[in-house]
Structure 1
Amino acid sequence: MRQPCLVASDIDGTLLDPAERVTARTARSARGVDASGTPLVLVTGRPPRWVPRITDSLGVAGTVVCANGAVIYDSASDTVLHSSDVDPVTLRDVTKSLREALPGCSFGVERATGGARDRVDEQFLAEPEFHSGWPNPDLRVVPADELVGSAAGKLLVLHERMTSAQMAVVAEELVGSRLQVTYSTGSGLLELSAPGVNKASGLARVAGELGIAASDVLAFGDMPNDVPMLEWAGHGVAMGNAHPDVRQAADEVTASNEDDGVAAVLDRWW
């Protein structure tokens, strides 16, 4: 690949090491990209409220594609620029169908507000049965009817006795024509977005506004929710620790996130 005009990177399992830290080498490489004037865009399943800690550690602030492409967030100004939401009727119908097909599952939703530092209890809502393991009070528990009563950027489906891959097979067949189905962890958690909304669509929006073609984009990822982005980008790089589907979709496999795989590739150009 010639000199990339934009670098896009997933966060968890990619930019972060296994302890969820930005290493000194990765931060140095990221700052080198930024100092050159090349946009560095983080593309993540995370909501905006989980981004500032990462951008602070990197020392690079700018546009971040959040919620698997559903939300475009400017970390420099703490502003949500765009949100592609699932409407309440679809949320209601899909949760009903999945509840019948996946007995024992529970639901949560992510809603984009004005910025990452807005009230958390307006951004992440879940049913009482939804035990994600994420820290309270990063969650507001609401009845099922209230959960699906307003539009949301992402619907989360949790099942404690199934893997994400097992759940995805069922969900794809049942609601795949109505919502985008993906996952970023193997431990029984699906992430559903509006049709056609994924990391590739979110990144394409950002790149398009900058006048940058897909062929000039270098992208990194490790999990199935990264596959559309790696296929869209001119050069897709899978981490050494990546899911097999990601390795297959990539143009290259770098070192693992434990061994600064992102930095190893960035250092070719910066």
Structure 2
Amino acid sequence: MHSRPLPTTPRLIATDLDGTLLRDDKSVSDRTIAALAAAEEAGIEVFFVTGRPARWMDVVSDHVHGHGLAICANGAAVVDLHAGGKLLEVRALERDTALEVVRTLRDAAPGTSFAVETTTGIHYEPDYPPFHLDPGATVAAAEKLLHEEEPGTSAPVIKLLAHHPELAPDGFLTLARTTAGRLASFTRSSPSALIEISGLGVSKASTLALCCAERGISSDEVVAFGDMPNDVEMLSWAGTSYAMGNAHPDVIAAASGRTVANNEDGVAVVIEQILAGRA
């Protein structure tokens, strides 16, 4: 299902997790496990690049080979999965900027509620729908969640989340980018009107580009996979990229090729083709 010849010598595979590498039940299929292992054995690095925070990486912790690095929180954190999720790099969202985003979105879309993801956990406003109940979460207004007694004394913010109960997901994203795009980076990966907000210029693509530069890997040597708007920049950057069969229309437009859906092991299908081409 691909529209461009596969690179003969890719050096790195960058794959999203939810809706891409993972099946809908959040499992990694036996076929996918075998394909990832075969890629690593062939000398191709595999990077997991996800919107998930480090503490939600247990879904793939048993399938980490080689370097063990993952890019989490849409590029805001680089994590060593071999070291129990140790944070190697953080590209934080400044708290003052996050507060300005909160005020701007509240004015533009009344009814918006917020959550603050830090390097140590997530905290919610009272109206925010908790999609994962974290026992240590503080529930308070965003102003309190983002308040810091002294600059630099609180855990870095890696993501601000904004939820609206009524707006269409893509419409909410467009509104947020239009009204506050000068302040931060906005994207989405949820089926609901849930926006993920990072520091300006922080994305899966920009952090992956930094990690590749450190390794002397060019974009032409990268094969990337994704399914939602938070993957668009990464798929556009990679020399070869695949939208999943279940992908958002913007992702299909950005990718150079297309594979089958996540529940049909679309990532494994392409990895098998790459390795067959190298044989």
Counterpart mapping for 1:219-258 below 5 A: 219-258=224-263
Residue deviations 1:162-212, cap 9 Å, x none?
A: 222111121011101111110001301000111111010111111111111
Question: Sequence identity of aligned pairs in percent?
Answer: 39
1:216 equivalent in structure 2: 221
Counterpart mapping for 1:67-216 below 5 A: 67-78=73-84, 79-112=86-119, 122-137=120-135, 139-150=137-148, 151-216=156-221
1:11 equivalent in structure 2: 17
Q: Is the 8 A contact 2:75 2:203 kept in 1?
A: yes
After TM superposition, the score normalised by the length of structure 2 is 0.89
Q: Secondary structure at the match of 2:83?
A: coil
Partner AA of 2:25 in structure 1: A
Partner AA of 1:19 in structure 2: D
After TM superposition, give the deviation of residue 152 of structure 1 in Å. Answer: 0.9
The count of residues paired between Structure 1 and Structure 2 equals: 260
After TM superposition, the score normalised by the length of structure 1 is 0.92
Q: Secondary structure at the match of 1:21?
A: coil
Q: Secondary structure at the match of 2:39?
A: helix
Partner AA of 2:65 in structure 1: V
Output the CA distance in 2 between the equivalents of 1:95 and 1:160.
16
Partner AA of 1:143 in structure 2: A
- Stretches of structure 1 that go unaligned for 5 or more consecutive residues are 113-121
Output the CA distance in 2 between the equivalents of 1:40 and 1:251.
19
Q: Secondary structure at the match of 1:267?
A: helix
After TM superposition, give the deviation of residue 138 of structure 1 in Å. Answer: 6.4
Partner AA of 1:95 in structure 2: V
Q: Secondary structure at the match of 1:269?
A: helix
Q: Is the 8 A contact 1:132 1:158 kept in 2?
A: no
Residue deviations 1:49-79, cap 9 Å, x none?
A: 00133122x2536110001011111111131
After TM superposition, give the deviation of residue 20 of structure 1 in Å. Answer: 1.3
User: Does 150-159 or 167-176 show the bigger shift?
Assistant: 150-159
Q: Secondary structure at the match of 1:134?
A: coil
Q: Secondary structure at the match of 1:81?
A: strand
Output the CA distance in 2 between the equivalents of 1:157 and 1:54.
26
User: Does 219-228 or 166-175 show the bigger shift?
Assistant: 166-175
